[in-house]
Structure 1
Amino acid sequence: MKHPPTATPVTPDMVVRVRADELRRCTRTRQLDRIAAQHHFSTDTEFDCYVDALLVHTGIDYDRLHQIEETRRRTQRQRARLTALGPTVRLWSAATMSRFTLCAHDGRVLWRDEFSDPGSIRTAADAAEASARQAIWLAEHARNYAGVYVARLALVLFRSRGIPCTRLHQTAEAAGLVLEVSTATTGNPAAEQRDAPEAVDWHTSDLTPLLQTGRTPA
């Protein structure tokens, strides 16, 4: 009597070899963990073999990636604590297809100028994003001028549809800012003053009052 052939067990090494391209696209340990769970690599030995195979066949250093994530989480927690105690920069932002306007919390125009790369502005969303990036740059400059390690940027946009907010948050984080984005299509002083003909150079604006304590609305 013939017995059915025994199925070959799926090993971590086999999985990593077959799914190498997919694994290389993973940027978080939780994504790698999900694939391990799909193949029931639940014991310490199996998972260690999976981690070893990742390094050998894909160049992914799981342990180093985990350390980077832990460091990032600690940094974010520390930054959040400092931000809760630190100042806030409140700015209004609006744009046309050719230039941007930024206003302080009190409606005073801080900066109105042409976009430095007009060829990159193809849609209203492009213009709004470019204006928001100028606001982040200005807030970073004010933070540095004040000698503050981290600050909150409460940024009110005239338009937010189509803007990749994740990229804005990443840009702000790199600038030492915790970004809070909201939208105001009415009562936005930047929008109300965006069509004024004259440019306003930010160098002529006093940036010191931009950093405020407290969390009163913009």
Structure 2
Amino acid sequence: MEDAFDAHLDADGVSFDRSDARLLATIAETGSVSGAAESLGRSRARCLARLRELEDALGPLVERRRGGSDGGGSELTAAARDVLGRFDRLQATLSGTAGVPETVLSGIVTHVEGELCSVETDAGTIRAVATESVRTVEKAVTVSVRADAVTLHDPSDTPAESATSARNRLSGTVEGVKRGDAVATVSVNVGLSTPLRAFVTVESVRRLSLEPGTSVVASWKATATRATSTAVEPQ
């Protein structure tokens, strides 16, 4: 993710994220899907395909106008403006949340590829961005994962690894759910001495039926994971 929080709204199996919000906002600014695609550096076909996916889940979002003195174009529906408002409120809530928890674990570097390394931990292999001083095989490191970088999935509906940029994934069981007004912190037992924690929306808690005992798959990007030097290396 590009900023501190990866906000998204879930509806009927479709996740509305910042990229989608930018698409709708740019359509409103440019007055057309083609204009938005050009402004964002995306293909028109890709934008139209994504709009169809979103509209299947959220209802009509863009109204196409044909002809007229202005030559036609596109404008957002009331439903689209409502979704953008909800997304903005969610982002504001997430951005204002202090003290995002981290999961910290220890491991040994087993492979190095540029700035990335593979770290063997008690929970399995984790890929992370490593500081230069620890890019050495067999180096003991500390790995940290922010809760706002972790996404939870139903085990039966987990995306294939080839379909997502999130290279880290661990299976586990929910230990606890701490709800706020819009977001919740979910603790997941993945075989570590401390639980892996994830920030999710309250919508996701309901959709995934997250409660103690629920089986989940946690995934997050290697670029959202940091490997740093361990103060005392294991013997």
Query: Structure 2-normalised TM-score?
Result: 0.28
Which structure has more helix as a fraction of its residues?
A: 1
Structure ranking higher on relative contact order (CA contacts 8 Å, 6+ apart):
1
Query: Structure 1-normalised TM-score?
Result: 0.30
Is the radius of gyration larger for structure 1 or structure 2? 1
Which structure has more strand as a fraction of its residues?
A: 2
